[in-house]
Structure 1
């Protein structure tokens, strides 16, 4: 069997303890997917597809799932192609099988969850359904083997939905006798127990119109405890409204007594108002059991939110509960630990059918199968740019907190999740959260900060001018505080984007004025020999180094004179702030800054090592590579920068790197700057490289780069990529080009500049786009970056590159040694607010 381990994926370091259900994150495991070629036919005449399509008459154009799986990390032996089903980029789609042992082991070991409650549908155990029962047995065997190999736990969960009430007891007894005794499931050292008793979970009882009685349920509980050696610990999955006998619960009030008198633990159904329900549930159980010698474990169910299509009814609104980039799930984890919960049940590890899966899902709408994209959802549907395993990461972080008994903070750990692959353990990160964020001082600072924000005050200049940041330590504390606010999304929900830009503007201004950048951006454990450069340029040189066991690119910037050093630090401190808050698949991540030693006149910028090099090198090594997908990548990255109010200002093929998956990633922001409407900049660092520079910059002294000038540069880059020649290559010297710009005579496509052999093979549609990019009337006639992105999307370019990428889009820069004096920060903010009020009063007095 192939190794299922994926590089960089966090795994549980210790084995999960099978002797107790406490302090665990358990997941619902359906395991109901099958594909042609994954084993023996389920039964004669079966088409091979189970759950992915209508298994009786599978239509390859109509998958029956609401979220489509991302299988980019799977090995070839785990992938099953779907005939005729391709993405909008003409990529072949693949699915996975719950029968494949490598796939099962992969999902059992990854991301630190403790184990699975394996769903067994009682309806599949009826006479005449032997083929489905055999399939369920096979999946159970796979999970058992995987948990034993990986040190996880498992238990059985029976769901009795759609089974006649008078048949349930017999079916469950026969099946439990078989799997517990004949198959020897209970002999597994990894079967979950509590106080020596094997855990059995039941679902489907006590729901409205289910036709069950409390007496029936009691008889089934007695049966399990009677035939199980040593008895059984029985958990029940109850309706959301189990306390009130309303809503989806059976109206018979006797069920309330049943849940608390007969079961060992209860797990209420998922709820959108989880905080209120959890609090009420815990309080209700406490009062009902007060004075009794009995304990009932409360194990709430948690879920990511809704991502469901309407393929079943075409009418129902399935998506009222938004995932919100993982914050909805995180809020449930936080609320549960706030109320003293020790174990949780996550729904669902692999339910792609109803869009509840926590496993990797397709990240972008363009990756969905055609024409299915209109009927399904992807992880970017709620405007969040997420990696495929995002929700597994959240579960892993929550599981680590449950293992250590650490309260899960309210603050969403955005940067910790983005840099998840860096950590050998998450406990240090959680301890950092516990120390830094679960304190009243931090919350007080945030409240005061956004009190000032709501008054629309431009703090940057005022906070420095009025002496609030008179000492270097004051500056560092304030910068680190503002950086944490951005990192962890502690922003007003009703103005989150506006507030984020405001805080980033403030942080950038302070960083530039005081020459201080966030402490988390300074890396301390980089290993690099700066005496062995691989490439040199005017700014310095590039070396290959190691950071946390990964190859990195180290750009060593030479600092010559003291004046140069001061100017560079002022510019770069702001730049570091901006870079630290960028995260996109087509933008090279910024890991941080490394200072080799205090005496060295060098500052090193650290980013991922790209073995493919830049676009120029990549195209020379792979001359037959399809160029249009690369241009599409660049346009997407540029659009992200522009939407972040960042002008690149030096866009060319040598400033675009290529990832391991062959995707273009924009790099080198050394001369980028932010167009901030509320903060005026006074200097321009550079106007880029002459042959890629827009005419309005080249002909107007002091002109600053703009979004429009970036579009001209994109057109030049497109020429470079499509012809393998630099734009304006026929001009020997920049002054010649400058004269032509003044006369408005030339573009890279002009016949006087380029030969027909260079341009004749360019697709006419692409050529027209390039001509628009080269319009001398920049403001009115050049396309916006978003238009270029849509242009390439509309081309439906075949793209055979893997969807996944080993290059992370962001990194966790948190350092546990960074200490912030929140009380000092609060006093500084108070001073700012006081000065603000004094200024307002002065203005009002002058008007009188």
Structure 2
């Protein structure tokens, strides 16, 4: 792959920031109005909730590779300026360092060791386990849908991108997430004909998957780039409108990734594109490079989000604005306050969905995927910044957790609040856990059979509700895990109870994310446990005859327990 071709792809979002004429801080200083609003009076959504309406979607690049990973491209794809050589400080295209601790296979870069002495290894998106891990993170943090970025697949990158689509489908199916194809038309010379052929001959087959996103009963497709006023997307309105209408004729629900100023038709938007924009089912204006702090976000609430939403409502179009964590390299994140303000503004405006820019965009530093949390997890010669760059410690999964909480607010699962509820560090969440103390001694009695939960076989076997009296195995320390959550430490073996895809078991020596639960107090005086690991409720399976497992999406009789103290 040539250097010029590589630059065309990974830098496509950077080139448009100049066309926007700077951030919104130069536009209107209407912060008082923004701050005063507390709820939305917007016109109801054009569409009922589906896989994008009422949901949080993330842009998923899936474009990192390493020599030796088996990818057809056989390159350090999107890691190195010269893809034939490993990335080094002088041969790199990334500006933030991924946390690779959960990947079973990694590849040695040319960087110096990390600050903690570990080798500076990187993941490959081509490994199925990498994609599975990414989608597990989405599942754990209640992120609904992934938009797989698909650039011009006709050239040398095509075979690798084709394979990535299959890997994403598999991961989405395995982890109960949805995905859709998001075509990026940047530098795609024969786009008008080739995008139709690609959909017909290749990508349409993916819609047979149970994990392929549907909205209004139609498979979702996004086209990013129509109407941008730069030379990388030079088309006139007519061919763009032809493509939009063609996809609609194929029975698709079509999203437009459009310029920031699509509605006013100036600055980063070509004139004459109003009919193209209004032909889409949903509009998702780009935001990276436009805002960089809370004041910018509040300005955009007034000058873009609210009037954009009104225009969409008047034309029966759904609205999916961007929310971004901010660039690490530009010190924009403010330990989550910048991103949370955007979630708050979008919710009170009444938007139909949210698009996170992006999941794994380590090239621009606006990724939410797990990232080096401190200098200990950065190569010593990288010159990169970690998540604690402003002096506030943040666990590597912080922006995943923040996105999960933003999604809860969007869906009304937590109240609208301008105060960020997500703590930058949760005990055990990638940083050394703090001492949770002794807590309160409790026992759990299952409502379904009135038996007590026990750490069977002295904690060596899974928890099950089958005891008629309380002994040591039926006692647990109820511990504060931060952010209003709790952990359970078994008296049987002094280990913490772990939840996930397997039955609950007291097997951990640390209180981390997989050992953390939200304690839900039910109106009848019982409690339920919501596992943070997978956002599922703990159930006394088979009416208590089988082990406890966190695999329920709602609370019923099997998910209720009496909390016995004293």
TM-score (norm 1): 0.45
Q: How does 1:333-732 map to 2 (within 5 A)?
A: 333-372=343-382, 374=383, 376-404=384-412, 406-415=414-423, 418=426, 523=440, 525=442, 546-547=476-477
Equivalent residue for 1:274?
Answer: 297
Contact map agreement 1:521 1:592 (CA 8 A) in 2: no
1:275 Cα offset (Å): 3.4
Q: Which residue of 2 aligns with 1:58?
A: 85
**Aligned-pair CA distance for 1:33:** 0.8
2:147 pairs with one of 105, 108, 117: 117
Query: CA 1:197/1:592 → structure 2, altered by over 3 Å: closer, same or farther?
Result: closer
Write the deviation string for residues 408-431 of structure 1: whole angstroms up to 9, x where unpaired.
42111144973697xxxxxxxxxx
For the 8 Å contact 1:418–1:811, the answer to whether it is kept is no
Cα 1:544–1:264 change in 2 (3 A) is same
Task: Provide Cα deviations, 1:563-600, integer angstroms capped at 9, x if missing partner.
Answer: xxxxxxxxxxxxxxxx999x9xxxxxx98999xxxxxx
Measured after TM superposition, the shift of residue 36 of structure 1 is: 2.8
Picking from 248, 258, 261, the partner of 1:241 is: 261
Q: How far off its partner does 1:90 sit?
A: 3.2
Confirm or deny: 8 A CA contact 2:487 2:511 kept in the other structure.
no
Q: Choose the corresponding residue for 1:170, options 174, 178, 193.
A: 193
Q: Distance in 1 between matches of 2:424 and 2:515?
A: 8
**In structure 2, distance between residues paired with 1:28 and 1:220:** 22
Partner of 2:127: 100
1:131-157 per-position Cα deviation (integer Å, ceiling 9, x unaligned): x10100111000101111222111110
Q: Distance in 2 between matches of 1:287 and 1:593?
A: 48
Structure number having the greater strand percentage:
2
Alignment-derived partner of residue 485 in structure 1: none
**Does residue 82 in structure 1 map to residue 93 in structure 2?**
no
- 2:210 is matched with which residue? 189
Paired residues of 1:416 and 1:812 also in contact (CA < 8 A): no
Paired residues of 1:201 and 1:236 also in contact (CA < 8 A): yes
Deviation at 1:363, TM superposition (A): 0.8
State how 1:760-839 maps to structure 2 within 5 Å: 807-808=511-512
Separation in 2 of the partners of 1:388 and 1:106?
A: 14
Task: Output the CA distance in 1 between the equivalents of 2:67 and 2:488.
Answer: 51
Match of 1:32 in 2: 63
Correspondence for 1:152 among 170, 174, 177: 177
Aligned counterparts of 2:199 and 2:341: Cα–Cα separation in 1:
37
What's the CA shift for 1:386?
Answer: 0.9
**Is this contact kept in 1: 2:60–2:149, CA < 8 A?**
yes
Taking a change above 3 Å as real, the CA distance of residues 812 and 137 of structure 1, as seen in their structure-2 partners, is closer
Note if contact 1:68-1:362 (Cα within 8 Å) is conserved in structure 2.
Answer: yes
- Cα distance in 2 for partners of 1:22, 1:109 equals 22
Q: Partner of 1:172: helix, strand, or coil? A: helix
> Does the 8 Å CA contact 1:419/1:810 hold for their aligned counterparts?
no
2: CA distance between counterparts of 1:285 and 1:580?
41
- How far apart are the structure 2 equivalents of 1:244 and 1:143? 36
TM-fit CA distance, 1:814: 8.3
2:279 paired with 1:262: yes
Q: Is the 8 A contact 1:282 1:298 kept in 2?
A: no
Contact map agreement 1:417 1:812 (CA 8 A) in 2: no
- Does structure 2 retain, via aligned residues, the 8 Å contact 1:85–1:369? yes
SS of the residue 1:73 aligns to: coil
Normalising by structure 2, what TM-score?
A: 0.65
Partner SS state of residue 92, structure 1 = coil
Return the offset for 1:257: 4.1
Verify the 8 A CA contact 1:65 1:354 in the aligned structure 2: yes
* Alpha carbons 1:86, 1:370 under 8 Å: kept: yes
Cα pair 1:86 1:93 within 8 Å, conserved? yes
For the structure 1 residues 170 and 365, does the alpha-carbon distance in structure 2 shift closer, same or farther, using more than 3 Å as the test? same
Q: Does 1:137 align with 2:67?
A: no
Aligned equivalents of 1:810, 1:107: Cα separation in 2: 16
Aligned equivalents of 1:195 and 1:264: distance in 2?
10
Query: 1:547: Cα distance to partner?
Result: 3.9
Question: Take 1:400 and 1:151, find their aligned partners in 2: how far apart are those partners?
Answer: 17
Distance across 1 between alignment mates of 2:412 and 2:222: 25
- The separation in 2 between residues aligned to 1:383 and 1:205, in whole angstroms, is 40
Q: Secondary structure at the match of 1:262?
A: coil
Per the TM alignment, residue 57 of structure 1 is displaced from its structure 2 partner at its CA by: 3.9
**Which structure is higher in RCO with an 8 Å CA cutoff and minimum separation 6?**
2
Given that 1:69 and 1:360 are in contact with CA atoms closer than 8 Å, whether structure 2 keeps it comes out as: yes
Residue 228 (structure 2) aligned to one of 195, 207, 216 = 207
